[in-house]
Structure 1
Amino acid sequence: MTRTSHIHLMATYNEWMNNKLYEAARSLSDEELCADRKAFFGSILGTLNHLVAGDTVWLQRFATHPANYVTLGPIRQLPVKSLDQLLFPNIRELSAHRVWLDQQMVEWSRSITESDLDHTLHYTSMKGVPADRNFYGLLMHFFNHQTHHRGQVTTLLSQAGVDIGDTDLVILIPSEPGVL
Structure 2
Amino acid sequence: MTPLGYKAHLALMARYNQWMNGKVLTLMADHPERDFTENRGGFFKSVWGALNHLIVADIIWLARMTKHPSGHLLLPVLDLPKPAGLTDILYEDYQSYAAPRRALDELLIAYVDSLNEDDIASTFTYSRANGETHTKVLGLTLSHVFNHQTHHRGQITTLFTQMGLDIGVTDVHLLVPELTPEP
Whole-Å separation in 2 of the counterparts to 1:146 and 1:108: 17
1:102-137, CA deviations, whole angstroms, 9 ceiling, x for partnerless residues? 111111111011000121211112332111111121
Matched to 2:29, the amino acid is R
Unaligned runs of 5+ in 1: none
Aligned amino acid, residue 75 of structure 1: V
Residue in structure 1 matched with residue 171 of structure 2 by the alignment: 168
1:119 equivalent in structure 2 = 122
**Structural mapping, 1:58-97, within 5 Å:** 58-67=61-70, 69-78=71-80, 79-97=82-100
The amino acid across from 2:105 in the alignment is D
Whole-angstrom distance in 2 between the partners of 1:143 and 1:43:
21
Identical amino acids, percent of aligned pairs = 36
Structure 1 counterpart of 2:51, from 48, 56, 60: 48
Change in Cα spacing, 1:30 to 1:132, as seen in structure 2 (3 Å) is farther
CA contact 1:30–1:90 (8 Å) conserved in 2: no
Q: TM-score, normalised by structure 1?
A: 0.93
Cα RMSD between the aligned structures? 1.5
CA separation of 1:71 and 1:93: change in aligned 2, threshold 3 A: same
Aligned amino acid, residue 71 of structure 1: L
Structure 1 residue aligned with 2:106 = 103
One-letter code aligned to 1:99: R
2:9 alignment partner, one of 6, 9, 26: 6
- Is the Cα–Cα contact under 8 Å of residues 30 and 91 in structure 1 kept in the other structure? no
Aligned residues: 179
Q: Deviations over 1:12-37 (max 9, x none)?
A: 11111100011112334466110001
Alpha-carbon separation, structure 1, partners of 2:31 and 2:92: 15
Q: Using a 3 Å threshold, how does the CA distance of structure 1 residues 30 and 45 change in structure 2: closer, same or farther?
A: farther
Q: Deviations over 1:22-76 (max 9, x none)?
A: 1112334466110001111111011001000001111111111122x33211112
